[in-house]
Every structure is written in C-alpha cells, then in structure tokens.
C-alpha cells in the first residue's frame, strides 16, 4: 500500500529537521534557543518532502525522556515516529548531524529506507 496524505504522495526524497515557530505567549513548552534566528518559540520536528510539503510533524513539549530507552535515544525515537508511515517504501531520508547515530542508520536500513546526513568536523 502506498502512503497518501490527503491525495498527496510524498516524493522519494524526504527531510527530517527541526524548526522554531516564533511565539512569545505563555506556554510551558516555549523554547529559548540563542543560536537560532527566532530565539523564542515553539520547537517542531518535521518530515518534509522535496517540494516543502510537511508530511508529518511533532511538537517538542520539553524533555523527551519517556521515548528514550536503553537502545534508543530521544532523537532516534523522533526519527522513527516521523518516518513510520513511509517505512518499506524505499524513501531516502536526509537529516543534519543532530539526528545522526549508528542506531538510526541501522533502523532506517532495516525498515527499507536510506539515509544521508550532514556532518560537522571537530577542530
């Protein structure tokens, strides 16, 4: 069965990333991230296709320790949650070094997806 969301089929290339939506109101999960352009807001993890369409998203509500286990980090759980609808369809997932780990690579490969990650060289 091919995954469809409102009659839109996601492209073969998908990206997992985090975005900050500017918000200065009062909520307990508002984030302050000094290195981002939007310093104060709501952090959202997204799965987007190459046209920019958001296929799935997850709002960060604070420390995500309940999804982390002994063999799975919190970022691994986020990637797994965002990509479960497209598993087995041969999609290529792109992400930055925040989400990368050997466990994620092995999990995506087992679920018939390939992965490409940007890396930062330590000096």
For residue 34, what is the domain's CATH number? 3.30.420
Q: How far apart are the first and last CA of the chain?
A: 47
Checking if the pLDDT of 122 tops 80, the result is no
The number of distinct structural domains making up the chain is 1
**Does 1 have pLDDT greater than 50?**
no
Whether 86 maps to a domain, the answer reads yes
Residue 4 inside a domain? The answer is no
Is there a domain that residue 83 lies in?
A: yes
Q: Is there a domain that residue 5 lies in?
A: no
Residue range of the domain that includes 52: 13-117
Question: 119: exposed, middle or buried (C-beta count within 10 Å: 0-12, 13-18, 19+)?
Answer: exposed
**Which pLDDT band holds residue 3 (cuts at 50, 70, 90)?**
low
pTM: 0.78
Look at residue 25 and tell me if it is in a domain. Answer: yes
For 40-96, the pLDDT digits (tens) are: 888 899 999 988 888 889 988 876 655 556 577 888 888 888 988 888 888 899 998
Q: Quickly list H helices, the chain.
A: 74-83, 102-110
């Amino acid at each position: 069965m091919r995954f469809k969301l409102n009659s839109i089929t996601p492209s073969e290339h998908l990206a997992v990333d985090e975005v900050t939506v500017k918000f200065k109101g009062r909520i307990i999960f508002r984030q302050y991230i000094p290195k981002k352009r939007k310093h104060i807001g709501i952090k959202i993890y997204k799965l987007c296709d190459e046209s920019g369409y958001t296929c799935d998203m997850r709002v960060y509500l604070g420390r995500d320790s309940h999804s982390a286990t002994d063999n799975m980090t919190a970022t691994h759980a986020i990637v797994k949650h965002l990509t479960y609808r497209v598993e087995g369809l041969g999609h290529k997932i792109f992400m930055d070094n925040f989400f990368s780990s050997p466990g994620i690579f092995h999990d995506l490969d087992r679920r018939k997806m390939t992965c490409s990650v940007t890396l930062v060289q330590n000096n």
